[in-house]
């Protein structure tokens, strides 16, 4: 069964893109796609569409067989918790510490504020070198540390699918290699993944199939 199914989907252009003409697409366990686009903004738009961050101009979005209503914010939040989104615009909430950002999803879903980070999360923070910065706000740390916190947040929330956009290039080499290894483990375990690496050396790192967007037309090979 498809985890994500977009039916007769279409999007208006954003930025310098052409938008997305009507298409259908499914993402199921075991799928791993490399995304290619003639315009970066269209690649970004497609990933945001999969992440439920861009309501469509037309079409329907089904997650685990259930059609989403983009006016029902609470249901969308529940779905987004199951999607690991590592687009270039994935960010932390600036007025909260890194620690609070990492706990935010649990605050909401467990309806408690007396929570502490689990050992698995702390272990990743240690590996990414941000354990001693958890009580600082994003503006108080280097951009690569804020990016590492985003990765830890998304990788530890129990996501059922991962959407990745040029996420490696913003990290030091050691952290990038660690992150790549984590994604590879997810793909090898059958967690579906779509990633866009542009023209970097990571272009075909996890690929099983290809998605192409040319002049706003999406095709799968």
d(CA 107, CA 179): 26
Q: Is the pTM of this model over 0.85?
A: yes
Q: What is the pLDDT of residues 81-130, one digit of tens each?
A: 999 999 989 999 999 999 999 998 877 677 777 778 999 999 999 999 99
Predicted pLDDT of residue 1:
84
Cβ neighbourhood burial of 46 (10 Å; 0-12, 13-18, 19+): buried
For strand 32-37 and strand 193-196, is the pairing parallel, antiparallel, or unpaired? parallel
Split at pLDDT 50, 70, 90, the class of 198 is confident
**CATH number, domain at 10?**
3.40.50.300
Predicted pLDDT of residue 192:
96
Predicted pLDDT of residue 121:
95
Which of 11, 13, 4, 5 shows the shortest CA–CA distance to 58? 11
If you average pLDDT over residues 46-66, what whole number do you get?
A: 97
Percent of the chain with pLDDT over 70: 94
Q: Does the pLDDT value for residue 138 go beyond 90?
A: yes
Two tokens at 218? 């999406």
Domain count along the chain: 1
DSSP string, 119-142: HHHHHHHHHTT-GGGTTS-GGGS-
The residue range of the domain holding 85 is 4-220
Predicted pLDDT of residue 6:
98
């Amino acid at each position: 069964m498809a985890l994500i199914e977009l039916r007769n989907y279409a999007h208006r252009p954003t930025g310098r893109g052409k938008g997305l003409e009507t298409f259908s697409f499914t993402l199921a366990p075991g799928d791993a796609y490399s995304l290619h686009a003639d315009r970066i903004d269209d690649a970004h738009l497609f990933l945001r569409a999969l992440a439920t961050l861009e309501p469509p101009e037309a079409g329907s979005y089904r997650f685990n067989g259930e059609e989403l209503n983009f006016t029902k914010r609470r249901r969308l939040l529940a779905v987004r918790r199951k999607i690991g989104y590592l687009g270039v615009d994935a960010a932390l909430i600036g007025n909260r510490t890194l620690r609070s950002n990492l706990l935010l999803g649990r605050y909401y879903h467990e309806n408690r504020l007396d929570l502490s980070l689990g050992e698995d999360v702390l272990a990743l923070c240690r590996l990414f070198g941000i354990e001693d910065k958890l009580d600082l706000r994003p503006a108080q740390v280097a951009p690569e540390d804020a990016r590492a916190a985003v990765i830890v947040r998304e990788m530890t929330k129990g996501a059922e699918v991962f959407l990745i956009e040029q996420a490696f290039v913003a990290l030091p080499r050691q952290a990038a290699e660690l992150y790549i290894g984590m994604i590879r483990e997810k793909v090898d375990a059958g967690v579906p993944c779509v990633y866009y690496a542009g023209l970097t050396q990571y272009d075909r790192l996890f690929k099983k199939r290809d998605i192409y967007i040319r002049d706003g037309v999406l095709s799968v090979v």
